[in-house]
């Protein structure tokens, strides 16, 4: 945290500058009204700044604050209390939503006014004398601007910092949540795969209990399902490890389920319409599978040559 002493030393502001500003105090007092008139003509002439100056009573109050600030430039004492007041002013401007741009341009107006005033009133003095006064004025105005506009940087840093922290927390929480869901999915898949193994064993028993054809066909269908469960588990583990989500696996699962249904349907001697419906569905799913596989090949980067 910079102190007023630090800031003054960075601007090479010394006792001579304080003395020069104090010397200018009577002149500033005599021209305070004129400068503030120009300051307000300027602010009221820009719709964006005029909007902050409200009604008659508010305008009078704010005008007094600006007039006091101007005269305070020449009081010769620039300590931490002076800096604190500038910081509060900066925060007051930020609070009302005034853009830093207007503070900078208003400061430019004050600077031009004072430089011209010194040029005019000290015209008979040597150049070096005018320069001494100019430099003191330039330094104190730059210091004022520096401290006041720091409030804008603090505000934007605060916003960035807060939103960054919030975003990071949100992303972290969502990642953990998704990871948890994926683990549940894997456990469910493992459980289902075990049930499919159980189903397979149960269907094999049909073979030994005489229903050979039914047992073999059903077991074949169940094996297909088991095969797809393995694919699903594999896909899920790859996704958890950061791999791509593969939609083809899901289409494959549905195809296998339909094939199994067709096998069972023939065993059950279902009506022809049911079997035709299943065959039609299988055909459509096959086409979808083919198209998705093709488009994935087109998107995937080609392996490097050589």
Residue ranges in contact with ligand HEM by CB under 6 A: 43, 49, 52-53, 62, 65-66, 69, 88-89, 92-93, 96, 98, 102-103, 106-107, 110, 144
Instruction: Give least dist CB 167 to ligand HEM, A.
Output: 32
Given the complex with ligand HEM, which of 98 and 186 has the nearer CB atom?
Answer: 98
Question: Using CB atoms within 10 A of its CB, is residue 151 exposed (0-12), middle (13-18) or buried (19+)?
Answer: buried
Taking the complex as a whole, the smallest distance from the CB of residue 137 to ligand HEM amounts, in Å, to: 13
Q: Which one, 13 or 39, has the nearer CB to ligand HEM?
A: 39
- Least distance to ligand HEM, CB of residue 139, Å: 15
CB of 127 vs ligand HEM, minimal distance in Å: 27
The distance of closest approach from Cβ of residue 81 to ligand HEM in the complex, given in angstroms and rounded to an integer, is: 13
Q: Are 266 and 275 in contact (CB under 8 A)?
A: yes
Nearer to ligand HEM, 53 or 240 (CB): 53
Q: Which of 36, 229 has the CB closer to ligand HEM?
A: 36
Select 13 or 40, whichever has its Cβ closest to ligand HEM: 40
Comparison of 151 and 262: residue with beta carbon closer to ligand HEM: 151
Nearest-approach distance from CB 130 to ligand HEM, in angstroms = 23
């Amino acid at each position: 945290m910079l102190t007023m002493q630090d800031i003054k030393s960075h601007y090479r502001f010394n006792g001579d500058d304080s003395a020069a500003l104090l010397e200018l105090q009577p002149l500033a007092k005599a021209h305070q009204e004129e400068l503030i008139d120009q300051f307000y003509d300027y602010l009221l002439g820009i719709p964006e700044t005029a909007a902050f100056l409200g009604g008659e009573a508010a305008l009078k109050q704010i005008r007094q604050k600006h007039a006091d600030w101007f005269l305070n430039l020449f009081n010769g004492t620039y300590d931490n209390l002076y800096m604190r007041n500038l910081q509060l002013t900066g925060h007051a401007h930020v609070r009302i939503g005034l853009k830093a741009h207007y503070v900078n341009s208003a400061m430019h107006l004050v600077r031009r006014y004072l430089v011209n005033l010194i040029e005019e009133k000290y015209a008979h003095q040597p150049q070096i004398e005018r320069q001494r006064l100019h430099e003191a004025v330039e330094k104190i105005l730059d210091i004022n601007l520096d401290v006041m506009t720091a409030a804008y940087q603090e505000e934007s840093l605060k916003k960035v910092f807060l939103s960054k922290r919030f975003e990071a927390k949100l992303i972290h929480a969502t990642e953990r949540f998704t990871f948890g869901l994926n683990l549940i999915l894997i456990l469910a898949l493992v459980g289902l795969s075990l049930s499919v193994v159980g189903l397979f064993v149960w269907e094999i028993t049909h073979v030994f209990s005489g229903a050979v054809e039914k047992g073999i066909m059903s077991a074949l269908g169940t094996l297909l399902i088991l095969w797809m469960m393995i694919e699903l588990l594999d896909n899920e583990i790859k996704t958890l490890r950061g791999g791509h989500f593969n939609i083809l696996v899901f289409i494959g699962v549905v195809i296998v389920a339909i094939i199994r249904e067709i096998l069972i349907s023939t065993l059950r001697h279902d009506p022809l319409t049911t079997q035709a419906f299943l065959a039609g569905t299988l055909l459509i799913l096959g086409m979808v599978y083919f198209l998705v596989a093709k488009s994935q090949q087109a998107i995937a980067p080609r392996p490097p040559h050589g």
